[in-house]
């Protein structure tokens, strides 16, 4: 399905977790590059950010998602190791596993409900 709207913070949070899931320490720049590579960007994503004129909106959104006061850090899924460096926590790894399990259960349910496909 084609995305025709600009991405929001909640769109990138799970991608950030997937990107850092190996447990290494990643810089904001590395995370931004990796997450952007996994997104289908629209022109609105590439426009200049209002409060950060040297960044594209999508770069600003990813950077905001990494802030300590935002969900990923606040909920304990990633931690800031040093300024501009982040690492997944055991809670983040558990969230990824739980999300994969939920997806598998939903897929199984859909296959049972629609054995011939949708």
- Report the CATH number at residue 103: 1.10.10.10
Give the tens place of pLDDT for each residue, 73-108: 999 999 999 999 999 999 999 999 998 888 888 888
* Any domain includes 29: yes
Q: Which domain holds residue 74?
A: 9-113
CA-based radius of gyration for the chain: 16
Q: Give the pLDDT confidence score for residue 36 in this predicted structure.
A: 95
Question: Does 3 fall in a domain?
Answer: no
In a domain, 4, yes or no: no
At 2 the pLDDT is 54
Count of domains for the chain: 1
SS3 88: strand
pLDDT, tens only, 16-49: 999 999 999 999 999 999 999 999 999 999 999 8
Confidence band for 111, pLDDT divided at 50, 70 and 90: confident
> What local confidence, expressed as pLDDT, does residue 7 receive?
93
Structural domain contains residue 88: yes
Question: Does the model's pTM come out above 0.85?
Answer: no
pLDDT above 60 for 1? no
**How much helix, strand and coil, in percent to the nearest 5, is found in the chain?**
55, 10, 35
Question: Cα–chain-centroid distance for residue 23?
Answer: 15
User: What 3-state class would DSSP assign to 44?
Assistant: helix
Q: Is residue 1 part of a domain?
A: no
Q: Determine the pLDDT at residue 108.
A: 85
In a domain, residue 13? The reply is yes
């Amino acid at each position: 399905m084609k995305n025709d709207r600009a991405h929001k913070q909640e769109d990138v949070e799970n991608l950030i977790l997937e990107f850092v899931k190996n447990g290494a320490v990643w810089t904001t720049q590395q995370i931004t590059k990796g997450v952007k590579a996994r997104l289908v960007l629209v022109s609105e994503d590439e426009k200049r950010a209002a409060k950060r004129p040297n960044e594209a909106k999508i770069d600003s959104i990813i950077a905001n998602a990494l802030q300590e006061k935002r969900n990923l850090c606040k909920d304990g899924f990633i931690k800031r190791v040093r300024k501009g460096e982040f690492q997944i926590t055991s809670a983040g790894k558990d969230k990824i596993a739980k999300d994969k399990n939920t997806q598998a259960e939903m897929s199984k349910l859909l296959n049972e409900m629609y054995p011939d496909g949708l």
